[in-house]
Amino acid sequence: MLKITDLHKKYNDFTALRSLNLEVGKGEIYALLGQNGAGKSTTINILLGLLKPTSGDAFINGVSVTGYPDRVKKDLAYIPETVLLYPNLTGLENLDFFSRIACFEYSREQLSGFLNRTGLQETAHHKMLGGYSKGMRQKVGIAIALAKDAKVLLLDEPTSGLDPIATAEFTEIVRQLGQQGKTVLMATHDIFNAVSVASAIGIMKQGVLVQNLPSKAFTAEELQELYLKTI
């Protein structure tokens, strides 16, 4: 569902990505670990079409990111570290607005259904987003991905700044997305969360994928030890 082939990205003399190859299948959750500057966000920005690679390509559902960026966006949803929505609209109104931009029109009951699937309490559906916590805003972001029927979700530091309860809730939502056949690529520093939810884990260093591991082969403590040795 998501394939990256020999991807390079250079900025003058600085190499941000070097020979990146990666495949994530339908229903799989891939966690990408690495320090700031390791190349995680560069990878996501290329998949989103915000950056052009120096060479190589990436494919979403078999479609080239560099060749057909508009077609790819129909299958993609992006949830950044801070979800940017309209604070003067309710959660339901934000969902309605962004669904319409993606050419989907739903009844209020259907919109509430998407929000319910993310675990957002019904009492919050009609409250202004400006009063939402970060975890609640992320749930609206996931509801938008569900409403536009995105096949691939790109998550950038999704648990950063969340309290333990919100982190556990978000982890469960991501796990359910995988069970529903969604493909997830998650850039994160959260080793415990990566072990808990991911099908596989990659470790990046200076633009290179230096480890590509099945998550079930490691405990969080073992992965942390390997991560510290790697970086």
pLDDT in tens, 103-153: 999 999 999 999 999 999 999 999 999 999 999 999 999 999 999 999 999
Q: What is the pLDDT of residue 42?
A: 94
Calculate mean pLDDT across residues 83-95: 95
Calculate mean pLDDT across residues 161-170: 86
In the structure, what pLDDT confidence band is assigned to residue 162 with cuts at 50, 70 and 90? confident
Q: What is the pLDDT of residue 54?
A: 96
Q: Is pLDDT above 90 for 217? A: no
In the structure, what pLDDT confidence band is assigned to residue 215 with cuts at 50, 70 and 90? confident
Q: Is pLDDT above 90 for 57? A: yes
Token pair for 129: 């987003």
Task: Give the global pTM.
Answer: 0.91
Q: What is the pLDDT of residue 34?
A: 93
Residue that wins the pLDDT comparison between 87 and 82? 87
Per the prediction, the chain carries an average pLDDT of 93
Residue that wins the pLDDT comparison between 91 and 227? 91
Q: Is pLDDT above 90 for 193? A: no
CA 206 to each of CA 8, 45, 55, 120: distance values in angstroms, whole numbers, following the listed order = 12, 16, 17, 38
**% of the chain at pLDDT higher than 90:** 74
Q: What is the pLDDT of residue 159?
A: 86
